[in-house]
A = this chain, B = another copy of it.
């Protein structure tokens, strides 16, 4: 390999899959973009199979100007009845919702619909692993919070919000890498498979 004369490392020398990249990277991207990019990486590299579900829309009127292309002319957004993401990691069904907040001190539970919390609980009941991915944009930190922890907190302490400091202490910081801006799989590998 040829190094550049200025002694700087070429991209291929950078340890891509190490956690040395700051969690503060990709400031310009939304959490959704980061999760989608990470899922694309996982699929291409056969590491996991996770997709974002389409946004549920109620179609009221459709025009057929040509036989080939139906054009929807009136439709409305529905409240989602489940979460945005689900899939499979090494045979384990996973299901999660990803949310970002500008709040510096707490995660308001109003960000997550009650039927989504109910769905996350059902996933757990049926033998899957469910969680939230929460980004605190002020700190540029993204955490994975297993649903079980959330359930314990909101049923015993406060059902309206979870403090940032509690999430920092009990959740798992998700690393950000060059091609995997929200590498939640590295956390799942530790939590679900104990790093195996």
A123 to B50, CA, bound (A): 10
A76 x B69 contact (CB < 8 A): yes
A88 at the interface (CB under 8 A from B): yes
Residue of A43, A53, A123 most packed against chain B (CB within 10 A): A53
**When A88-B128, A93-B88 are in contact, do A70 and B76 touch as well, CB less than 8 Å?**
yes
Q: How large is the interface on A (under 10, 10 to 19, 20 to 34, 35 or more residues)?
A: 35 or more
A122 to B71, CA, bound (A): 32
Q: Which of B57, B71, B88 contacts A126 (CB 8 A)?
A: B88
Q: How many copies does the complex hold?
A: 2
A71 x B76 contact (CB < 8 A): yes
**B-contact 0/1 string along A70-99, CB 8 Å cutoff:** 111111111001100011111111000000
On chain B, the residues within 8 Å of A77 by CB distance are 70, 72
Chain A residues 130-176 with CB under 8 Å of chain B are none
On chain B, the residues within 8 Å of A56 by CB distance are 54
A45 at the interface (CB under 8 A from B): no
Please give me the residue from chain B that is nearest to A86 by CB atom: B86
A90 x B126 contact (CB < 8 A): yes
**When A51-B82, A53-B54, A57-B54 are in contact, do A127 and B90 touch as well, CB less than 8 Å?**
yes
| A62 CB to nearest B CB, Å | 9
Please give me the residue from chain B that is nearest to A70 by CB atom: B77
Excluding A51-B81, A72-B76, A88-B93, 8 further A-B contacts by CB distance (< 8 Å) are: A46-B125, A48-B126, A54-B78, A71-B74, A72-B74, A72-B77, A87-B93, A92-B93
22 A-B residue pairs with Cβ-Cβ distance under 8 Å, sorted by A, are A43-B122, A49-B123, A53-B53, A53-B54, A54-B78, A55-B57, A57-B57, A57-B59, A59-B75, A70-B76, A71-B74, A73-B73, A75-B75, A86-B86, A87-B126, A88-B123, A88-B126, A91-B92, A91-B93, A92-B93, A93-B93, A93-B128
